[in-house]
Amino acid sequence: MRLQGKTAIVTGGGSGFGAGIAHRFAAEGAQVMVVDRDAVSAAAVAGQIGGLSFEVDVSDGTAVQAMADAAMAAWGRIDILINNAGVTHLPAPMEDVSEADFDHVMAVNCKAVYLSARIVVPLMKAAGQGAIVNIASTAGVSPRPRLSWYNASKGWMITATRAMAVELAPFGVRVNAVNPVAGETPLLKSFMGEDTPDMRAKFLSTIPIGRFSTPEDIANAALYLASDEASMVTGVAMEVDGGRCI
């Protein structure tokens, strides 16, 4: 019960890493709001863990404000924010990625972190405590070819995490990131371009441990960073990658 009495918002919580984080946090005693663009998926996960659900486009400031308002109405505070929602463009030469795809990646992976900070950080400052965990990617550390703008968005998240950590530390708010390697999530096919045995083997050959990351792997890391056990840890971008970035 490492999060007993804590409240947590998990964006992109309807599937993949986000669902894994929501399940683990609830099992550790947290009250969890599962946030997703897919209201059905969010409600399903929330129902499984006895949490709340909220339909949100995280790149829409009005929607993010409504999310925070709902959490405050339910709990009176927000202790933990997990910025997990993310998207990618399909693998392609950088010059062939459409402007619409570029804008979508930057809106969900970057602007959403800004929007949530603008709205949630003042609440955490007022409380004198809080933990934010951004789910970035090894792509922001060791970029893969043909995913250039996705790589750039995750590099932005890592730098934003460190900048936020330095600024917010005096207010009792910690900010960290988790860098997963490719995982068994709905985005895996998009990263690879096609889900075939050959393509999987190609991706796995770059991971020394020899497997993809799982929602449980990422949930374990996020749990530590969000818990009081990590009270001296801020500005870290923890690689959970089976050695890919070595």
* Active-site amino acid positions: 150
For residue 180, with 0-12 CB atoms within 10 Å meaning exposed, 13-18 middle and 19 or more buried, which class applies? buried
For residue 99, with 0-12 CB atoms within 10 Å meaning exposed, 13-18 middle and 19 or more buried, which class applies? exposed
Contact 151, 143 (CB under 8 A): yes
Residue 4: both structure tokens together: 């007993």
Transcribe 192-223 into DSSP letters: HSS--HHHHHHHHTT-TT-S-B-HHHHHHHHH
How far separated are the first and last CA of the chain, in Å rounded?
33
Q: Which amino acid is at 88?
A: T
d(CA 74, CA 77): 8
Q: Which amino acid is at 159?
A: T
d(CA 120, CA 194): 37
Query: How many CB atoms neighbour CB 69 within 10 A?
Result: 11
How far is C-alpha 190 from the geometric centre of its chain's CA atoms? 17
